[in-house]
């Protein structure tokens, strides 16, 4: 199948890989995730393929039908591969034959490209390492840290990486505020909000994905925080913020102030 072959009823996604800033060992999980959203008919990896640094990528190109795009380093300190990748992305965008882009890189220099693609109505699925700068992460429709994506898939097969604990989740102020705002936004008079509405609100706020925290889905993450009540009504899942517990410490201090009467 060629790069421009169209399959009815399937979303077309261009997978563009910055081979200089992405680990080849993660290509299987990247493609598995892209398959959740559509078909990666366009698969390209950019770099100077004469460099020993890309030997790992060379070994997987044919196996996964990825087209290598050769870019020589024309001058010191300039990344020709980045420029070629941006130019190709813009050409693909203007061709109007795609539904989305998957960008694999840990380089924040692609942030303007992602913002331009999204501004034109394209979904952008980002993949990178945990060192990826926040601006690039936030610009994507969704962004997955490759270390966390692999860890989440290996939980059932003896993987050693564990999800964040409830205490760790509670101390993540940005996450807690995001979840509370999402639950509050769609709440009924009793404070209950449907999981679907919560998920939509969260996704509209940025590149959120529960797997970056070690959980397979949003409901599992919300439940793990210990800050919300989760109930199931038939097939529906509803969530509301848990009532605050009584200030036991204040009551204890109050009792401590009641000193027994002095005796002779």
Q: What is the pLDDT of residues 194-217, one digit of tens each?
A: 888 888 777 766 667 787 788 888
Q: Which residue has the higher pLDDT, 42 or 205?
A: 42
Arithmetic mean of pLDDT over the chain? 81
Q: Which domain holds residue 209?
A: 166-241
Is the residue at 83 inside a domain? yes
The residue written with tokens 């962004």 in the block is: 143
Query: What's the pLDDT score for residue 100?
Result: 95
Specify whether the backbone of 226 is left (phi greater than 0), alpha (psi in -120 to 50) or beta: left
The residue from 157, 190, 207 where one domain ends is 157
34 part of a folded domain: yes
Q: In what order do the strands lie in the sheet with 39-47?
A: 67-70, 39-47, 12-18, 100-104, 123-128, 142-145
What's residue 157's pLDDT? Answer: 41
Same structural domain for residues 93 and 207? Answer: no
Tell whether the model's pLDDT for residue 36 goes beyond 50.
yes
Whether the pLDDT of residue 264 is over 80: the answer is: no
109 and 200 in a single domain? The answer is no
Is the same domain home to 153 and 67?
yes
Residue 53 has pLDDT above 80, yes or no: yes
Is 213 among the domain residues?
Answer: yes
Same domain, residue pair 21 and 79: yes
What pLDDT is stored for residue 188 in this prediction? 87
Instruction: Judge if 121 and 26 occupy the same domain.
Output: yes
Domain identity same for 177 and 195: yes
**pLDDT the model gives residue 184:** 87
Is the whole model's pTM more than 0.75, yes or no? no
Domain-located, residue 96: yes
User: Are 50 and 138 contained in the same domain?
Assistant: yes
Domain boundary among 118, 137, 157: 157
Mean pLDDT across the stretch 226-240?
86
Tell me, what's the pLDDT at 183?
A: 87
pLDDT exceeds 90 at position 101: yes
The answer to whether the CB of 137 falls within 8 A of the CB of 126 is yes
**Cα–Cα distance between 171 and 137 in angstroms, integer?**
21
What is the pLDDT averaged over residues 233-258?
67
∠ CA 23-211-16 to the nearest 5 degrees?
40
**CATH at residue 101:** 3.40.50.1010
In a domain, 251, yes or no: no
pLDDT category of residue 92 using cuts at 50, 70 and 90: very high
> Is there a domain that residue 249 lies in?
no
The two structure tokens encoding residue 240: 């509301």
Q: Are residues 85 and 130 in the same domain?
A: yes
- How confident is the model at residue 211, as a pLDDT? 79
In a domain, 247, yes or no: no
Domain count, the chain: 2
The 10s digit of each residue's pLDDT in 142-184 is: 999 988 765 444 544 444 457 888 888 888 888 888 888 888 8
CB atoms within 10 A of CB 68: 17
The whole-number pLDDT of residue 262 equals 52
Return the pLDDT at 158: 41
Q: What is the percentage of the chain residues whose pLDDT exceeds 90?
A: 32
Give whichever of 66-75, 205-214, 229-238, 255-264 has the largest mean pLDDT: 229-238
| CATH number of the domain within which 179 lies | 3.30.420.610
- Asked if 21 and 123 sit in the same domain, the reply is yes
Asked whether residue 35 carries a pLDDT value surpassing 70, the answer given is: yes
CB atoms within 10 A of CB 243: 8
Give the mean model confidence (pLDDT) for residues 48-57: 88
The verdict on 42 and 112 lying in the same domain is yes
Percent of the chain past pLDDT 70, that is, above it, reads: 78
Same-domain check for residues 17 and 142: yes
Q: Is residue 2 one of the residues assigned to a domain?
A: no
């Amino acid at each position: 199948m060629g790069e421009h072959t169209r399959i009815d009823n399937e979303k077309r996604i261009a997978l563009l890989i910055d081979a200089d800033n992405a680990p080849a060992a993660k290509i299987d999980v990247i493609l598995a995730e892209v398959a959740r959203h559509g078909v990666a008919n366009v698969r390209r990896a950019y770099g100077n393929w004469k460099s020993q640094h890309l030997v790992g990528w060379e070994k997987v190109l044919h196996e996964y039908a990825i087209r290598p795009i050769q870019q020589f380093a024309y001058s010191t300190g300039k990344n020709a591969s980045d420029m070629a990748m941006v130019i190709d992305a813009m050409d693909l965008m203007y061709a109007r034959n795609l539904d989305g882009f998957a960008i694999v890189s840990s380089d924040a220099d692609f942030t303007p490209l992602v913002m331009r693609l999204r501004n034109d109505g394209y979904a952008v699925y980002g993949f990178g390492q945990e060192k990826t700068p926040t601006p690039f992460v936030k610009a994507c429709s969704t962004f997955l840290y490759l270390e966390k994506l692999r860890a989440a898939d290996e939980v059932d097969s003896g993987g050693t990486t564990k999800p964040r604990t409830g205490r760790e989740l509670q101390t993540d102020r940005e996450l807690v505020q995001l979840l509370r705002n999402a639950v509050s936004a769609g709440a009924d008079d009793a404070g209950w909000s449907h999981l679907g509405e919560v998920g939509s609100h969260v996704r509209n706020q940025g590149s959120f994905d529960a797997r970056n925290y070690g959980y397979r889905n949003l409901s599992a993450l919300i439940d793990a925080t210990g800050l919300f009540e989760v109930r199931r009504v038939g097939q529906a899942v509803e969530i509301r913020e848990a009532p605050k517990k009584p200030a036991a410490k204040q009551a204890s201090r109050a009792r401590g102030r009641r000193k027994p009467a002095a005796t002779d």
